[in-house]
Amino acid sequence: MKIPSTIWTLLIGIGLTLVSLWYGQNHGLLPTAASDEAVLVDNLFNTMMIVSTGIFLLVEGVLIYSAFKYRRRAGDNEDGPPVEGNVPLEILWTAIPTIIVIGISVYSFDVYNEMGGFNPHAVHEAPITQQSMTMPGAAIAATLNDTPPSTEPNLNQEKSDEAMQDPATAAVRNADQIPQKRNAPGVGIVAPTIGGSLDKAGQPPELLVNITGLQYAWIFTYPETGITTGELHVPVGREVKVNMTANDVIHAFWVPEFRLKQDVIPGRQSEIRFTPKIAGTYDLVCAELCGPYHGAMRSQVVVETQEAFDQWMQEQLVASKETLNQAVAMNPANQSPNEFLAPYIKDMGIKPEMLNHIHH
């Protein structure tokens, strides 16, 4: 019994749909989804993979079938039949891609909106402040390299070598060149941002971190404690707000497991909010060509439990206190810590109370 072509078409359509649905959900092309926002992006990507797989199999299947079915037979030297245009078919293969593109565009907009990315008024509502992007911990480190010359000949050389290896110190020593610091206090430019998700709109973040990108390192500052480090630590399940700016050229903050990427621009403040959900250590990559050593501009994002995060914060505070004590110990004039450090913190937005807290 010959099966009608309509039945074959139906069976092939069902088969293509099932294969596309399976592969779209099991492609294994994405890394671990380590943030709440990653789920939204993955659903969009999976949808595009389902559609793309179905179209690919359909088009390639028709090509292979046609190449086999209408191949040139032995002894057949005649011309093929003349074929004119097929208007309904041309309308069909124009309309279907158009509908698919519009559908994916609307879905993409919805995902971006749910992640908090669509806020055209943010540029006017959140001016950058001079204090927001300071690096107190690095400022303290800078005192180790800007103290008056020592009577010991090797000490100055050692401090100079430390300055060459410490990007945080170098950033502070050139703080007057940072674009946002040349702006008037309280005035600046805010780049388009990815803010809080719809369910957290209008709520303050549970953790604030300031990030400065420079060739070729990331500097992370926790403004509530003044801690400055070279890697980002965040607790599981708490929304994190990241304020970012660049010291020199354009960089890009990208954590593949978070499905988040944002340009970091000199003179502009970019913002990202995310909620990590899986503990682990993830690579932070600069995704913008920023110079000859761009490929080496990497850091780590450590997602840990609240207890581990609190312990890490305490360890950093102790380390900051020891650094400050070393700086004060080098004070040849026997000045108070505030007097000795005043020249270095004047333009950094560091409050004397913070230094007292760390020192005592």
Q: What is the DSSP string of 135-189?
A: -HHHHHHHHHHHSPPPSSHHHHHHHHHHHHH-HHHHHHHTGGG-HHHHSPTT--E
Q: What average pLDDT does this structure show over 294-317? A: 92
Q: Which residue has the tokens 């609307």?
A: 106
Q: What average pLDDT does this structure show over 232-236? A: 94
Q: What average pLDDT does this structure show over 286-308? A: 92
More confident residue, 301 or 183: 301
**Mean pLDDT for the chain?**
75
The whole-model pTM stands at 0.67
CB atoms inside a 10 Å sphere around CB 288 = 19
Beta sheet of 280-286, edge-to-edge order: 232-235, 298-304, 280-286, 251-255, 260-264
Determine which of 108-117, 238-247, 251-260 has the lowest per-residue pLDDT on average: 108-117
Q: Which residue has the tokens 């208007």?
A: 87
Q: Confidence class of residue 174 from pLDDT cuts 50, 70 and 90?
A: very low
